[in-house]
Amino acid sequence: MPRGKTVFVTGGTGHIGIAICRACHRHGARVIFSYRRQRRIAEQLLAELPGSLAVELDLLDVPAMQRAIDALYAQVGIIDVLVNNAGISQVMPLPLVEEEDVDLIMDVNIKGTFFVTKNVVKGMIRNKGGAIVNVGSIAGTRMFEVPVTYAMTKAAIHGLTFALASELKRFGIRVNSVVPGLIDGGVGEGVPEALKKDFVAHCAVGRTGRADEVAETICFLASDKSSYINGQNIAIDGGI
């Protein structure tokens, strides 16, 4: 559990992001989260989690992102854990996808994640340690009826996890990812009922997942209790 640690969660106002923030706070961490447009939800979360901080962050604006993270370090001094949760999806069939659609999802889900990590990691290296947990998706590892653009970015997150774990090991920084299956709420709300039933039929647990189940796994990976886990993509899918 990340008790006493400072945890930075990107996309903290999304369905899974809120669950991550709540779980980290419940386990005794100081929670910092980013948001883009959901200011009202951010204010509600700040009120719910005493001692937390919110940072407005646009993953499409790399220079502004760098300045925001520099300012954050100047304020808090240390970030022990980074949870790369922010991301978008596009519900669009392949023949209708245009170049700008691909650019957008690549810029947010991959480029944005890369540069958030780069700027947070600089502080972790100075502080000689840390943990990073990336949020992937079963869409990037298995054959599912999901938007192609979303699946390819989530597959990239898995590769990013391996490469970061290898490069950052000499600085005492561990990098893992969680790979959720079909989760109730959030992106899962847009999944057709027939696909939900098919998922449940092939799921060993016999149900869809919950955001808090993803969050608790992230808290474990962020904690010193998982000190021998590194470079892993850990499925949270009920057994598919």
Catalytic sites, residue numbers: 150
Q: How far apart are CA 112 and CA 154, in angstroms?
A: 13
Q: Please, are residues 204 and 139 in contact by the beta-carbon 8 Å criterion?
A: no
Note the helical H segments in 49-144.
Answer: 62-76, 99-106, 113-126
Which among 104, 78, 91 is positioned nearest to 5, based on CA atoms? 78
Cα atoms found within 13 Å of the Cα of residue 124, Cβ hemisphere only: 26
Close Cβ partners of 215 (under 8 Å, ≥ 6 residues apart): 16, 19, 20, 22, 23, 24
**Which amino acid, one-letter code, is at 185?**
G
Note the helical H segments in 127-236.
Answer: 148-168, 193-202, 211-222
Close Cβ partners of 10 (under 8 Å, ≥ 6 residues apart): 17, 33, 34, 57, 59, 82, 83, 84, 85, 86, 113, 116
**Which amino acid, one-letter code, is at 139?**
A
How many other C-beta atoms can be found within 10 angstroms of the C-beta atom of residue 188?
A: 18
Q: How far apart are CA 57 and CA 195, in angstroms?
A: 33
